[in-house]
Structure 1
Amino acid sequence: MFLTDYYLREIKTYKKGQVRQVTYNKYRSNGRFLLENFPDLVLSKMTADDYQQILNKYAETHEKTTTTDFHRQLAWALKRAYNVDGILKRDVTFDAKIPLGKQSGKKKTKFLEIEDMRKLVQELKHENTPEANFFLILLKTGLRFAEALGITLDDVDFKKKTVSIDKTLNYKGRQKGTRAFAPTKNKYSIRTIIVDDAVLYMLWKNAKGADPDESIFFRLKGFQFNSTLNGKLKRACRKAGVPDITLHSLRHEHATYLVSQGISSMAVAERLGHADDTVTRAVYIHRLETEKARDNKEIAQKIASL
């Protein structure tokens, strides 16, 4: 049996329907890479050197983090071939080295300054389109894109001013001609968050004509592709005169703003649906460090003026 045949069989049997569709798509993408580059590699004859060559080849066109994910998924199948099916006589993935990979490109600006964030908010309020409303909701809630698309009227409590997050919208997959709701990223992502009157109004306004259990935004024209929405957000950023950001960046902006206003990292983590505040502190503490440096400079100037 060829490696490619075994890998594709295993992911279809044990991963399809068992992991999120986006994760399964990554497994399939890895299978295409194997088909294109190692179509004739016989599984039973594989050696550790063969496996390392596969990783080296993959790393030629991918960054190290992506190569690490590839290694994890391919190694899962090969360990089954060794431990479960007995096709391999040894674990060929043992002590494999992850190559440095392709050098990452120049990173785009990830965080807006508070002043730029307010400029963007004013521009989105001025546009007042369903897309602009959606961007504002993401900025004011920190929701993931698929979580925001999953919101229905049933999820909104207008009296308590909360939104319950217990599902996402599988916007990349189809089920009987309609988009299907899917589980949240993990159990920690199931949460209820407090929102302000502006978010409640935008949800109510865009939900006109929607069934209580129907996605508020996905049924509207222009919400079928995140690439289209990213393009509109980019145009809004340029109109506002601020650096370009993406839909997912709005989640970062929400978190960094709360951290900068003195909200605890644990409270921010719970709002974002993180298991704990480890990720929150590692990623969003950037805002605090930036402001700390600025404050220190200002302190030095004040002291010097005495």
Structure 2
Amino acid sequence: MIQRTNADMLFTDFYEQWITTYKQGAIRPVTMSKYKMAHQWLVRLIPDLKIGDITRITYQQLLNNYAAEHERQTTMDFHHHIKCAILDAVDEGLIERDPTRKAIIKGRPPKDKKQKYLNQFELQKLLANLDLGTDVSWDWFILLVAKTGMRFSEALALTPKDFDFSRQLVSVAKTWNYKGDGGFLPTKNRSSIRKIQLDWQTVIQFAGLLKNMPEDEPIFIKKQVYNSTVNDVLARHCREIDAPVITIHGLRHTHASLLLFAGVSIASVARRLGHSSMTTTQKTYIHIIQELENKDVDVIMRFLSGLN
């Protein structure tokens, strides 16, 4: 039941009502869970704060208390989730002025990041270490992600029908709800709907593997799937070849990184990964792009010197 909003309403109640009204059914379940998590933190940090009592100071104190237990980027995400609701409260006249204006985002120093991707030599050793038998296994899944750069949920949702072996293509148009009760879900965004070119070796391998499988059934789904299960399989292979232990998402980073190092344009890599814009690709792989730019300077200087 929707409560009548006024300045004396608890902000936690207002926010819960706001996400139910404006976000429920309009965003992906994964994104919705982030809004609900933000609500849980509001209940923990400001259980008695009324809408009308939110000021720049009380809002900054909220962010500071949240930042005491989270890294800066996580605090920034929390700020964005809360800010949307507060701005609506301002529009409705429940708050006199925007209390989020000039908010200072703090947070714990980021933890030392583990290596997210393998180099070409390590990837070749990993693929050689896979046990690619006649039956579908997580080793086949690892091979596919390494060769396509798909997201975990995208690869889980693949059916034999999604493969066009004559054109060496695989179509990504859905994901698998592995965090919920299973079943197909839409892709992360419209840009995620794409066709990925496959090399001929992968085509031959998967053409044989999928030969007698039902066309519309997920290839890798036999029961409830957990991300940790597949990551454990990948970690075992990484340890066996004495390479850095990465996750399945790290394989996606590996795929993109090696393509960039090979000279593939950012635009092409962005399309292959299903990024909504090249900006996302640039931000994610800025360290690689900077390294490539340094190499470009050497090429430019050699070229210009040769014009004399």
Instruction: Say yes or no: TM over 0.5.
Output: yes
Structure 2 residue aligned with 1:255:
256
Q: Once the 2 structures are TM-superposed, how far is the Cα of residue 173 of structure 1 from its aligned partner?
A: 1.8
Partner of 1:173: 180
- Kindly report the root-mean-square deviation, in angstroms, between the aligned alpha carbons of the 2 structures: 2.4
- What is the one-letter code of the residue matched to 1:120? L
Deviations 1:210-259 (A, max 9, x none): 5322221123xx76100111111111100111110011010111111112
Cα distance in 1 for residues equivalent to 2:256 and 2:69: 32
Residues 120 and 233 of structure 1: CA distance in aligned 2, closer, same or farther (over 3 Å): same
Matched with 1:184 is 187
Q: Which residue of 2 aligns with 1:213?
A: 216
On the 8 A contact 2:132/2:140 being kept in 1, the answer is no
Q: Report the Cα distance in structure 2 between the residues aligned to 1:134 and 1:73, rounded to whole angstroms.
A: 34
In 1: Cα distance, 2:36 partner to 2:99 partner = 21
- Partner of 2:176: helix, strand, or coil? strand
Matches of 2:38 and 2:99 in 1, distance apart? 18
Quick check: 1:110 aligned with 2:116?
A: yes
Residue type at the aligned position of 1:78:
I
Q: CA–CA distance in 2 between the matches of 1:261 and 1:87?
A: 55
Residue 145 of structure 2: SS of its match in structure 1? helix
User: Out of 132, 137, 151, which is 1:144 matched to?
Assistant: 151
Structure 2 CA distance for aligned equivalents of residues 65 and 215 of structure 1: 35
Distance 1:59 1:258 in 2: 36
- Which one of 173, 197, 202 corresponds to residue 199 of structure 1? 202
Q: Which runs of 5 or more residues in structure 1 are unaligned?
A: 297-306
The residue that corresponds to 1:6 in the other structure is: 14
Provide, for residues 178-202 of structure 1, a one-character-per-residue CA deviation record: whole Å limited to 9, x for no partner.
Answer: x221111111111111112443355
| Counterpart position of 1:97 | 104
What's the TM-score, normalizing by structure 1? Answer: 0.86
Task: Report what 1:88 is aligned to.
Answer: 95
Match of 2:38 in 1: 30
Match of 1:16 in 2: 24
Out of 42, 61, 71, the position equivalent to 2:50 is 42
Q: Distance in 2 between matches of 1:210 and 1:17?
A: 34
Q: CA-to-partner distance for each residue in 1:250-288, whole Å, 9 max, x for gaps?
A: 011111111222222221111111234333344436457
* Partner secondary structure for residue 130 of structure 2: helix
Indicate the SS of the match to 2:78: helix
Percent identical pairs in the alignment equals 41
User: What is the DSSP-based 3-state SS (H/G/I as helix, E as strand, rest coil) of the residue aligned with 1:193?
Assistant: strand
CA pair 292-45 structure 1, distance change in 2 beyond 3 A: closer
Count of residues paired in the alignment: 288
* Residue ranges of structure 2 left out of the alignment (5+ in a row): 1-8, 299-308
> Whole-Å Cα distance in 2 between the matches of residues 80 and 202 of structure 1?
54
Q: Which amino acid letter does the alignment assign opposite residue 19 of structure 2?
A: I
The 3 A distance-change label for structure 1 pair 211 and 17 is farther
Q: Which residue of 2 aligns with 1:269?
A: 270
Deviates more, 1:250-259 or 1:190-199: 190-199
What one-letter code is carried by the residue in structure 2 that aligns with 1:211? P
TM-score (norm 2): 0.85
